[in-house]
Chain A
Amino acid sequence: MGVLKLTKEKFRKVDLINRISGQNVYDCYQCGRCTSGCPSADEMDIVPSQTMRFLQIGEVDKVVESNTPWVCLTCLICSVRCPKGIDIAAIMEALRLVKLRTNYDFIHPNKIPEEDLEELPPIALVAAFRKMTP
């Protein structure tokens, strides 16, 4: 078995995800329970358990640039079912935040059609802006 060696740059990126989320991606032992319960897994480029593995090997950019954190519903099924107690939803949040903190907008309030704005409940809009705008 080879030893996993990360470059300094990759290590820094993994460390940032750990710090923002308050989790340790190296706790994951790849059982796949997060993915099996995830209602959004079908929509994801990289499913939650794969995301964890990519983070462990330092491929942070790959998951940050995927659609995965943006189709996450923050339903917390993964977090409550993880046998290692990892809050995977918090890691998804950290993946969104590394983009959002560069002043990135995943949704633009002015691009939401007017008829949608009229019918959407305030909590839908507040929640979406909280998760998908800086």
Chain B
Amino acid sequence: MTIKIPYYPGCTLKTTAKNFEDTAKLVAGVFDYEFDELYRWNCCGAVYGLSEDNVMHKVAPVRNMLRVKEVGEKRMLVLCSMCFNTLKRANYYVRRNKDKLEVINAIMYLENTTYDGSVEVVHLLELLRDEIGFDRIKKAVKKPLRGITVAAYYGCLLLRPSEIAIDSVEQPTVMEDLVEALGGKVIDLNVKTECCGSYQTVKRKDIVADRTNFIIGEARKQGADMLITSCPLCHFNLDRRQKEAKKRHPDFKEMPILYFTQLMALAFGFEEDKLGFEPHYVDPRPLLKERGLL
């Protein structure tokens, strides 16, 4: 039986990370999950407001929780790491600060319902690990990922702060376990929880290019051929900023960056045109063809 799960996409999964959404839907479909996109979802704000004296930045994420309540559901599936962090932190905050929740509800007075903190924010990686399970994932593999070595990169927002982390804050393993279930070889990347440079990519490309050079350089040193992530901003920075990294560091070598769902779709035997490799700056296809995976 198909399980419908309320789904919050966020702005970037509808634009530059469309390939992330498409492949996520494909792999969820393998396990009979269907993404039920929330009606009238709004931008979460991308970053969580850290100020203690202003609740305005928490209104947008909390408003999305109402959309889940309106359809009579209890949880919300998120793919983007930034949305996940913003939504889950805002949710955690209003659960612990009932007075602030009252203020936020008062701001949203035009809504038909009020929020009570009852919605759970779930990341796709949690769903894969806790509900679907790696055993079922293993059984669904049609094309084991032999011949490639993968580095799993988490970045910041799935893990910090610890209250909302999907795994160990300093030593996460969920993506490594996933790659192993797909039959691939995975390294224990030493910089897997380090920041890619985040929103500095707008004004300080140089910082991000240096971070990209560092993270990919470390992955390369440890023997990785490619790197996987779940964050559209990490993906952009690590993929697109390789251009700047090459300019700043002449010995830099390019590396394909994939969403973990693209790797899953590949292992589940989906055709090349379904994998969404076209928008990548560093095309993963030559490597995958060379290793006999495409």
Contact = CB atoms under 8 A, between A and B. Distances in A.
A interface majority secondary structure: helix
B233 interface: yes
Contacts of B47: 74, 126-127, 130-131
Interface string B180-224: 000000000000011101111111100100010000000000000
Interface in A39-92: 39-40, 43, 71, 73-77, 79-80, 87, 89-90
B171 to A, nearest CB: 13
Interface in B78-92: 80, 82
B99 interface: no
Contacts of B193: 77
A123 B51 contact: no
A29 to B, nearest CB: 21
Interface string A78-119: 011000000101100110010000000011000010001001
Contacts, number: 123
A15 to B, nearest CB: 12
B54 to A, nearest CB: 8
Contact of B82 (A75, A116, A127): A127
Contact of A125 (B57, B82, B202, B211): B202
Contacts of A77: 156, 160, 193-195
Contacts of A126: 11, 43, 45-47
A20 B51 contact: yes
Contacts of B10: 123
Interface residues of B, number: 40
A36 to B, nearest CB: 13
B50 A130 contact: no
A73 B198 contact: yes
B17 interface: yes
Contact of B233 (A87, A112, A119, A123): A123
Contact of B50 (A43, A74, A128): A74
B160 A75 contact: yes
B202 A75 contact: no
Contacts of A39: 194-195, 197, 211
B202 A116 contact: yes
A14 to B, nearest CB: 15
Interface of B: 10-12, 15-17, 43, 45-47, 49-53, 57, 80, 82, 156, 160-162, 169, 193-195, 197-204, 207, 211, 232-233, 236, 240
29 contacts: A19-B52, A21-B51, A43-B207, A73-B198, A75-B156, A76-B160, A76-B161, A77-B195, A80-B160, A87-B50, A90-B52, A97-B51, A107-B203, A121-B15, A122-B46, A123-B11, A123-B80, A124-B199, A124-B202, A124-B233, A124-B236, A126-B45, A127-B198, A128-B200, A128-B201, A128-B202, A128-B203, A130-B45, A131-B199
Given A121-B16, A122-B16, A127-B46, 19 more contacts: A19-B52, A20-B52, A21-B50, A39-B195, A39-B197, A73-B197, A74-B198, A75-B156, A75-B198, A77-B195, A80-B160, A80-B162, A87-B50, A89-B50, A90-B50, A94-B50, A119-B16, A127-B47, A127-B199
